[in-house]
Amino acid sequence: MTRRVLFLCTHNSARSQMAEGLLRALGQEQFEAHSAGTEATAVRPLAIKAMAELGIDISGQSSKRLDRYVQESFDEVITVCDAAAETCPFFPYARHRRHWPLPDPLQATGSHEEQLAVYRQVRDALRKHIEEELLAARSAS
């Protein structure tokens, strides 16, 4: 049975978008991945680039507001930033809720390469969470 997962972040532009792409690629048919934000903006070019380094194309993903998902059922609703964890509404049809507090790569400063390095760190932290908390749990059941 496919597990539905929703990743939430404030702008749905980097962390939640990378998480959605990672779970789609790593979880294959075992998971249905979605992402949304308390606001909708645009997927950040550095997030697209960091994911492309892993061979995962998120350039076709779009930023979405979370209100479109509130009445849907999910096995997991995962916030990936503190602001979303604090402001995100109650999801009545979510079986489990998780919070993965990750730094905001949009706050990265410095050169293009220094900023990209922050996106890579966040991407790799997301991958670790997904592998250890979602994929490992799925194979154990």
CA–CA distances in Å: residue 61 to residues 2, 24, 65, 79, 101:
20, 12, 13, 18, 22
- pTM of the full structure: 0.92
User: Catalytic residue positions?
Assistant: 9, 81, 88
Output b/e per residue, 44-77; b: 16+ Cβ within 10 A. Answer: bebbbebbeebebebeebebbebeebbeeebbbb
What would the pLDDT profile of 120-135 be if each residue is shown by its tens digit?
999 999 999 999 999 9
What would the pLDDT profile of 29-69 be if each residue is shown by its tens digit?
899 999 999 888 999 999 999 999 999 999 999 999 988 99
Answer whether residue 82 shows pLDDT above 90. Answer: no
CATH architecture assignment, domain 3-140? 3-Layer(aba) Sandwich (3.40)
How far apart, in whole angstroms, are the C-alpha atoms of residue 31 and residue 22? 11
